Amino acid sequence: MNKHSDLASVIADVSTANGLPNAHYIDPSVFEEEKHAVLFANWAGVGFGKDIPEPGDAKPVDFLGMPILLVRDHDGAIGVFQNTCRHRGMILVDKPQKIRGAIRCPYHSWCYNLNGALRTTPHVGGPGRSMHEDINMDELGLFRIKAHVWRDVIFVNVDGAASPFEEVHADLLERWKEFDTPVHHGGASSSFTLQVASNWKLAVENYCESYHLPWVHPGLNSYSRLEDHYNIEERGLYSGQGTLVYRQLKDQSGAVMPDFAGLSDKWDEGAEYVALYPNVLFGIQRDHSFAILLEPQGCETTVEHIEIYYAKSEADTPELTALRDTNATQWKGVFEEDVFVVEGMQKGRHGVLFDGGRFSPVMDGPTHNFHHWVATQIAAGRDA
């Protein structure tokens, strides 16, 4: 199999390109290759700050088999570590919990503080002796994984070779700088998951484009027509869609959710929906935003973690609870409408005659942009 020629057709211009071949959706060996070249080599989303809200909170995450530990330290900063003891490789934390003092390995009780420093190695020098001249505790702290938090999403770069998040994603940070204000999670109803029988990339591809909206989301047609949308395509960075007719949700009394502070007129009826490669889908509107973290659980299985955020906290706006609940229900309905196409495309990729498909040169640019990026990452991994 000549893998390089496969990717050459993907990297071609959208007008002539084919999509990624079937193997990139159904072949476990390609999934393993993409794990390293696409997900571990870039800034991938693995969790949310809201899930470790207080100092000492720790949450283990299994990211494609990689054991990761998310920790909020005593200063309120989020740290990410490999969740593996430096002694015998035991998993340190197996469920979300509050770390009161130290992370104690349940095997031989080597202990680490919230910054990953090794604090004690009991009996390492024999019974009752916690020292040995060959064990330098300063060199045996937990392996720290490069991490960055943006819009409450915890991003990690597992292989440690990527440039800093702010550099890699400077373009989107600039594009959305007006939204660089605190976000407050909407509470229990604003957090939900969808399990989909699909490779994670198909969820990205569907999210990127507006082409499917009138067919899959006919309820949007009444106010959000296809021609009211525009493509967002930044080669090598991100892609998505924007709308010019965002309409705020109102309750029966006419109440709306408060806007994020300081927005320009552009956002009165504007909203944007961007896939930040590889695996986080963002949506921003004047009065709320959301993040969808795609957790690849296997070649053909993905969990979508959806979290919705607002300009004001629940505590400050209890009168808006019902409106937030309605908003979450509406979004959940939209996202659920996408499940059958994502799963259908997955099934379709078992068709041995499928050639990756052809793109609409006009409508599918954002999706092709993602394919181009994936192919580029894979090629870089092969060349490394």
Partner 1 sequence: MTLQTSSALDDALLAAHAKSDLPDLVALYTQAADQAEGRSDTNAACFYLTHAFVFALEDGAAEADRLNKRLADYGCAKRLEF
- Give the x/- contact pattern for partner 1 in 74-113, rule: CB under 8 A: --------------------------xxx-x----x-x--
Candidates 84-92, 120-128, 188-196, 210-218; binding stretch for partner 1 (CB under 8 A): 120-128
Residue 146, judged by CB atoms within 10 A of its CB (0-12, 13-18, 19+), counts as middle
DSSP H helices, the chain, are 3-11, 23-26, 28-34, 165-168, 170-175, 200-208, 213-216, 321-348, 365-383
Min dist. Cβ of residue 123 to partner 1 (A): 6
Binding-site size for partner 1 (CB under 8 A) equals 17
CA distance 337 to 215: 10
CA distance 55 to 337: 38
| Between 37 and 105, CB nearer to partner 1 | 105
CA distance 127 to 102: 21
* Sign of the alpha-carbon dihedral angle for 28, 280, 266, 289: positive
Residue 320, judged by CB atoms within 10 A of its CB (0-12, 13-18, 19+), counts as buried
CA distance 18 to 20: 7
Min dist. Cβ of residue 83 to partner 1 (A): 17
Query: Would you state the structure tokens that stand for residue 74, as one six-digit string?
Result: 């005593």
Min dist. Cβ of residue 125 to partner 1 (A): 8
Q: Is 9 in the site for partner 1 (CB under 8 A)?
A: no
| Between 111 and 255, CB nearer to partner 1 | 111
| Between 131 and 322, CB nearer to partner 1 | 131
Check: CB of residue 309 under 8 Å from CB of residue 288.
yes
Q: Is 115 in the site for partner 1 (CB under 8 A)?
A: no
| Between 86 and 288, CB nearer to partner 1 | 86
- In total, the chain counts a number of residues equal to 384
Min dist. Cβ of residue 109 to partner 1 (A): 5
| Between 67 and 122, CB nearer to partner 1 | 122
Candidates 32-40, 117-125, 259-267, 358-366; binding stretch for partner 1 (CB under 8 A): 117-125
| Between 139 and 167, CB nearer to partner 1 | 139
Min dist. Cβ of residue 79 to partner 1 (A): 17
Q: Which of 3, 119, 146, 212 binds partner 1 (CB under 8 A)?
A: 119
Whether omega before 53 lies within 30 degrees of 0, making that bond cis, reads no
Distances (CA, A) of 80 to 46, 60, 116, 119, 121: 10, 10, 9, 18, 22
Is residue 294 classed as helix, strand or coil in its secondary structure? strand
- Give the x/- contact pattern for partner 1 in 126-145, rule: CB under 8 A: -xxxxx-----x--------
Min dist. Cβ of residue 100 to partner 1 (A): 4
State the residues that interact with partner 1 by CB under 8 A: 100-102, 104, 109, 111, 119-120, 122-123, 125, 127-131, 137
